[in-house]
Chains A and B, each alone.
Chain A
Amino acid sequence: MITFEWHGETLSLLPDRALLLPNCKTVVIADWHLGKGHVFRRNGIPVPQGITDQDLARIDRILAHTGARDLAILGDLLHGPVEGSAAWLGKWRHWRATHPRLRIRVACGNHDHQISALAGELDECTNQLNLGRVHGVHEASRGAVPQIAGHIHPYRTLRAPGIRERVPVFWLKKHSLILPAFGRFTGGEVISPLPDERTFAALPEAVLAL
């Protein structure tokens, strides 16, 4: 865990691609892409099921570890259409039912066309979330307002003799913090940070300043 102050708010970068705001007991994630495997299978690409179970177990672990009461999702909670019969939907709803006191807020992303189908399970669904002294959105805007955002799925390549590894990263820019995608079945883009920007590798068990 790496903790620092940023625009007056305390941020803790957690392992496994999540962010904690300790002052408001909120876990922030982005780009879950629920149901992505289902969309692939419907279209003839054999992606085995089990990803949703795994992602739900990961969020459970993070919530238990931090004791957070509030989950903020910065967009692309969904990947595609919401089909009533899909297995992932049942799993998500069952999980939600077992966490009745958890507040879940979503800042809608470009994949969330059918987010209204999940309205019953969400406490708030909007374009911009208040996260203490900063804002949470899906896609960071260019302005000078401090924002936490997702959308990009940033990766960096770690390189040393004989080693070449792509890892998801937190990308800290002057006015925005871009989170790695939370969903394990998501790809990403290798970014080129500017000299005054910082990145942190989000490994399964650790966060590593690069």
Chain B
Amino acid sequence: MDLSVVESLFAARGFEPAGFQRACWAAWRAGASGLVNAPTGSGKTLALWGGPLALAAKTPPDTLKILWITPLRALAGDTTAHLQTALDEIGSDLLVARRTGDSTSGERARYRRRTPFALVTTPESLSLLLSYQEEQARLRHLDAVIVDEWHELMGNKRGVQLELCLARLRRLAPGLKIWGSSATLGNVKQAAQVLAGNNALVIAAEQQKAIAVESLRPARIERFPWAGHLGLKQLPGVLASILRAGSALVFTNTRSQAELWFEALQAVWPLEPQMLALHHGSLDRNARLAVEDALRLGTVRCVVATSTLDLGVDFPAVNAVIQIGSPKGVGRVIQRAGRSGHRPGEMSRITFVATQALEFLEIAAARRALASSEIEARVPRRLCFDVLAQHLVTLALGGGFVRDHTLTEIRTTHAYADLSESSFDRVLDVVVRGGDKLAQYPDFQRVVCTDDRFLVPSAAIARRHRWSIGTIVADGQMQVRFVRGAVLGMVEESFISRLRPGARFLFAGRTLELVRVRDMVAQVKVAGARGAAVPQWMGGKMPLSSHLASGVLALIDQRPDEPEVTLVAPLLDMQAERSALPSQHHLLVEKLRTRDGHHLAVFPFAGRHAHEGLAPLLAYRLKAIARSSYSYTVNDYGVLLSSRHRIDVDTSMLRQLLSPKRLIEDIEASVNLAEMARRQFRDVAQIAGLTFNGTPGQSRPLRQLQASSGLLFDVLEEHDPEHLLLQQARQEVLIHCLDVERLEAALQCAQQRPIVITEPRQPTPFSFPLWAERLRGRLSHEDWQTRVRAAADAMERHG
């Protein structure tokens, strides 16, 4: 392979290739696979595209050689243009095409007429391609698959879907190279192996940009912090930073915060109104693209954004990155800070605005973790039966499959390397017979087996399957649009369902009034006045990573001379005086009595998800000892149990309450697991093709097949409770919603450390935030009908 074309491309652009780029090209030439670990804006695209460019010189027309996978549909357009430009610059007349859910029918037709050299696509669209037998013929000539931003896919089901597709491609095109790019993770080596096999190389950009972590600090803090209470007080400081910087990105953790900050900044914005913009994943694509373009052109000075911009949207660098709220993890600090100072040698800078006093500790902990390069790992998912069920139908559609070969192929993936024969057959049963209790599913028809070959015989089922392939990411989203037409974006169905017509809410930077809901569309009009509800968003619930949690404890123990630690010193002193400080060396437990009852606060610092499992577990175990009913609240630091009666526990009792023995059994008995599994099933049912997203104007046959995932869950739970997909949903609740692994680690840890019990007379700085939020997330042990009665009574009282 001749790399001179790539060298001359760089020469023409006036750049010298970086070492990691050359290393990548050399590895490519040697036929290796691997992962490029480099931040956005460091030239990773050309590192990965150099090999294909050299290949293009000797590729005949009409041969598909390269698949370029991007995690975000919205990125595909930009990427296609970049890759094509480089191809044009070396004088090639080959094509780069795009195939995503956004592709126009013209693009599709052109793709069918003329095979491009490279195709830019998403995991879903790749899966869709594999469901067409005739497309597979084209994929046989592939030389390489390149997966951009692999870290965004690994760790979720889209990544698993991609692993399965890659296994199929490796069989179609033996010798296929697989490359990827990834941001910095704690487990880059593993990320490379999951993507490209055990021999995968990791090529790192030689110098990671230095990152300065700063914080906006008020003159003094109040000693009783609670969530969201501090943030907006810093508005003048934030505004000043933005104006000083020239161009800035303001990141928030949740969409609701993004909307609030956008509104607040708007109110004090001294420049042209259009120089301030909002960008989050729920906004309509066109609105997002307009913002990205405006920032590129420099007509926007400040963008308020959520995690959508964590992805590689290719912005010109901004001068300042401001983060509202805790980063929750070190990886995110790197990613977000990387948005500033793109010029070589320049430092990335990120300024934090704490939304509550204790977050200053998280900021300081993030700075320390960065300095010692302690970055979180992203754990790849394993054995997702719903994704496998979907994939088997895809294979059955794309020309059919034979059991044994397919099992071997599937086991080449990391996700299913340990898939047992019996589990595989159970998944096969789900798509062939409906479930493994055959008598339960008479007349079931989806995939059939003829002469050892599994096929999809029905055109209607084929059509529906293809239609639902792309739905792994959608989660009960409802379109928001004006009565007179224009689409504003998507919002959670659960949020809209809580609103009555006439209710006001903040969305897309405007105050809207709900007019009506029809066919999965929330019709709205502009409301005049302010003071409205804000949609909540999943991102807000992201738990503090273990790295940062133990970092916070270390800061409390060591009290180093850092500005954030100094700032919260009065708070820590008061905590020490009234109770004791939480520590790495002991477990702090506070017994409290307030006017509204008795409370027990426990501070394992295991993150919100694990605490959501711990709280009901403790309540359940306490209840076995002292009959009483407990409510609870949790945050990233600890849990608070409350009761009308005295909670009488000593150290040895606490150790029993916190025992890791019988953990799963007790969790299952204590949490309303059925209810949680029911919610989780929504995702599972959609991926496995049990439910379809409603679209306006769909034909009746489809409407006849619509049932909510909740209804399907109830029917399955009642008549076939051991159904594989129900088991999958329950498993996901334990592992992902309640983070049982981290909970177990925390319980193990509690057995080894001394337990310090204090009895402060008032809530302490650490227990106050829990106490203040007590009304949320209450636990109830009452049975269903009494719960309903209680709810009805409450409705009566509150009208």
Contacts and interface: CB of A to CB of B under 8 A. Distances in A.
A38 B443 contact: yes
B277 to A, nearest CB: 35
Contact of A51 (B446, B497, B715): B715
B787 interface: yes
In the complex, which range does the number of interface residues on chain B fall in? 35 or more
A38 B708 CA distance: 17
B500 interface: yes
Nearest to A44: B446
A47 B708 CA distance: 12
Given A160-B794, A165-B787, A208-B792, A41 B719 contact: no
Given A185-B707, A192-B500, A203-B788, A161 B441 contact: no
A42 B443 CA distance: 6
B778 A203 contact: no
B500 A43 contact: no
A176 to B, nearest CB: 20
B194 interface: no
B607 interface: no
A158 B431 CA distance: 36
Given A39-B705, A208-B788, A44 B780 contact: no
B434 A43 contact: no
B788 A201 contact: yes
Interface in B507-537: none
Given A160-B795, A201-B792, A46 B435 contact: yes
A33 B704 CA distance: 10
Contacts of A80: 704
Nearest to A189: B517
Nearest to A192: B500
A142 interface: no
B23 to A, nearest CB: 49
B598 interface: no
Contacts of A161: 775, 778, 794
Given A44-B444, A50-B440, A162-B778, A205 B785 contact: yes
B712 interface: yes
Nearest to B778: A162
B246 interface: no
A77 B444 CA distance: 22
B689 interface: yes
B252 to A, nearest CB: 27
Given A45-B690, A48-B435, A159 B446 contact: no
Contact of A46 (B441, B705, B792): B441
Contacts of A50: 440, 718-719
B791 A163 contact: yes
B790 interface: yes
Contacts of A162: 631, 777-780
A78 B688 CA distance: 27
Interface in A96-114: 111
Contacts of B441: 41, 46-49
A110 to B, nearest CB: 9
A158 B775 contact: no
Interface string A166-184: 1100000000000000001
A86 interface: yes
A206 interface: yes
Interface string A29-68: 0000000011111111111111100000000000000000
A138 interface: no
A42 B689 CA distance: 14
Given A48-B716, A158-B795, A192 B501 contact: yes
B445 interface: yes
Interface residues of A, number: 45
Contacts of B371: none
Contacts of B435: 46, 48
B778 A159 contact: no
A189 to B, nearest CB: 9
A86 B435 CA distance: 19
Select the residue from A39, A44, A187, A210 with max chain B CB neighbours within 10 A. A44
A17 interface: no
Contacts of B171: none
A38 B705 CA distance: 11
B461 A44 contact: yes
A203 B706 CA distance: 24
A128 interface: no
Contacts of B443: 38, 41-42, 83, 85-87
B444 A159 contact: no
A87 B442 contact: yes
A151 interface: no
A41 B441 CA distance: 7
Nearest to B779: A162
Contacts of A48: 434-435, 437, 440-441, 715-716, 719-720, 723
B595 interface: no
A206 B501 CA distance: 30
A41 B790 contact: no
Contacts of B791: 158-160, 163-165
Interface in A186-210: 186-187, 190, 192, 201, 203, 205-206, 208, 210
A210 to B, nearest CB: 6
Contacts of A208: 788-789, 792
B417 interface: no
B711 A187 contact: yes
B474 interface: no
Nearest to B777: A162
B430 interface: yes
Contacts of B649: none
A46 B434 contact: yes
A55 to B, nearest CB: 12
B245 interface: no
A157 interface: yes
Nearest to B465: A44
B787 A163 contact: yes
B669 interface: no
Given A158-B792, A161-B778, A190 B446 contact: no
Nearest to A186: B711
A79 B689 contact: no
B285 to A, nearest CB: 29
Given A163-B787, A163-B790, A41 B711 contact: no
A79 B738 CA distance: 39
B400 to A, nearest CB: 16
B794 A49 contact: no
B137 interface: no
Contact of B788 (A86, A167, A192): A167
A19 B320 CA distance: 66
Nearest to B702: A43
Contact of B497 (A37, A45, A190, A203): A190
B785 A203 contact: yes
Contacts of B725: 46
A36 B780 CA distance: 35
Given A162-B777, A192-B501, A44 B445 contact: yes
A190 B787 CA distance: 19
Interface of A: 37-51, 79-80, 83, 85-87, 111, 157-167, 184-187, 190, 192, 201, 203, 205-206, 208, 210
16 contacts: A41-B441, A41-B445, A44-B446, A44-B465, A46-B716, A47-B434, A47-B707, A50-B718, A159-B794, A162-B778, A163-B780, A163-B791, A165-B787, A185-B715, A187-B711, A201-B788
List the 3 closest pairs (A to B, CB-CB), nearest first. Answer: A44-B446, A162-B778, A46-B434
Given A41-B445, A160-B793, A206-B785, 8 more contacts: A46-B444, A47-B716, A48-B440, A161-B775, A164-B791, A165-B791, A185-B707, A192-B501
